[in-house]
Every structure is written in C-alpha cells, then in structure tokens.
Amino acid sequence: QYSFQENGWGAYLAERLVRKCDVVNRGISGYNTRWAKLILPRLITESTGADSIAAVTIFFGANDSALKELNPKQHVPLEEYAANLKSMVQYLKSVDITADKIILITPPPLQESAWEKACLAKGDKLNRCNATTGQYAQACVQVAKECGTDVLDLWSLMQKNQDFSSYLSDGLHLSAKGNSFVAAQLWSRLEHRLSVLPSLLPYWRDVDHTNPEASLL
C-alpha cells in the first residue's frame, strides 16, 4: 500500500515506465495471504486481459509471519502461507498470466530492537522475530521454484549488508533506502522485458503540428 508514497518503490517503477505501461498498486496494508488469495480474483479477472499484463508482483509474509500467540489476527501458519502463495500463482496462471510474468517477493528481514520499540509505544509486546520471518522467506523462495516463477529474496539480500536497519523505517516497514533497494532489485528483473515496450504516443517534437490527426490517430 505504501509503495506509491514519496520515494516508494512503486512510484519509482511508475516513473521509469511512464508512457510505456501503467503500474497498478493493489497492495493493502496489514493483509496476509489468507485474505489476499480471497480478493485476488476481484483484482485481476479473466477479462483483465493477460496480453496487456507485463508483470505481476506478489509481496507477502511480513504479516503472515507474525507470532501466533501475540498477533493471532495476522498470523498465518507457515504451511498455509506457502499453500496460499501457490494458490495465488495458480489462479494467475488460470487467467493466462504465465509464470515468467510473475515475481514473488519475500518479506524483508525484521530489525527486532526497532520494531520492539514501535510495539511498546502502542502498549504491545514484540510480536515478530527475524528468524521466523526467515522461515517464511525460505518458503516463498521454494514456492517460486516449484511454480517456475521469478523471486526476489529481500530477506537474504538485505542481510548481505550486516547493518540492514537502514532499509527499514521502524524495523518492519521499508525506509526510503529500503524502497530504493526494492526498486533497483525489481528493475533489474524487469528491465529486459519492459524497456523494449513501445512508447505510448509519439514524442511531442515528432507530432505533425499542421496535421496532428496524422500523428495521433
């Protein structure tokens, strides 16, 4: 949901792809895969037209991996999380969106001390842990392998930088630097297939101003 905020990764991609294709944001804050698989058919339908879709990202796990005893509303068991991801990929395939157009994104790592401060400020206990989030990230990578989709393993990639806290604004959500990291990683996976898309409508200098209909219709 926050990917289109200032410096968000969705906004970055939209700017890169202006006049080539639209970047449609269907992220919903706080949702998990149990809820997402139910609403996916409402977001992308058979009538959407698979030919008009260049890529689809599925980015879940940070909420599913919440600790059951402390956050039962968002928690989804690991096995169900994997099954839900598979279900969403299978649905997309059923409406003719091929596996090569689908990118699964793992949850980013959790910076526990920062997130604990955010929880305590709300009167809550630390309701997530990085090791558990890592198990969900590994499950996401495995689903991608089994389904033949691409995957962006943020959990592993961000932790190559030992101090990954700068990628997160509060220990859980992406910071401006984290958004830039996601955008760059995604673009490296998308550039080869999207940069070749034709521009929508000619550059203004190429419009015949004496007969614009000839250029624009």
Query: Domain residue spans in the chain?
Result: 2-215
pLDDT value, residue 113: 95
Give the chain's residues under pLDDT 50.
Answer: none
Q: Which two tokens stand for residue 214?
A: 């000839």
pLDDT value, residue 144: 98
Q: Where are the alpha helices (DSSP H) in 58-169?
A: 78-94, 112-121, 130-147, 154-158
CATH number listed for the domain at residues 2-215: 3.40.50.1110
Residue range 107-163, pLDDT digits in tens: 999 999 999 999 999 999 999 999 999 999 999 999 999 999 999 999 999 999 778
pLDDT value, residue 48: 86
pLDDT value, residue 173: 96
- Are 79 and 149 in contact, with CB atoms under 8 Å apart? no
pLDDT value, residue 197: 85
pLDDT value, residue 51: 87
Phi-psi region of 12 (alpha: psi -120 to 50; beta: other; left: phi over 0): alpha
d(CA 34, CA 136): 14
pLDDT value, residue 47: 86
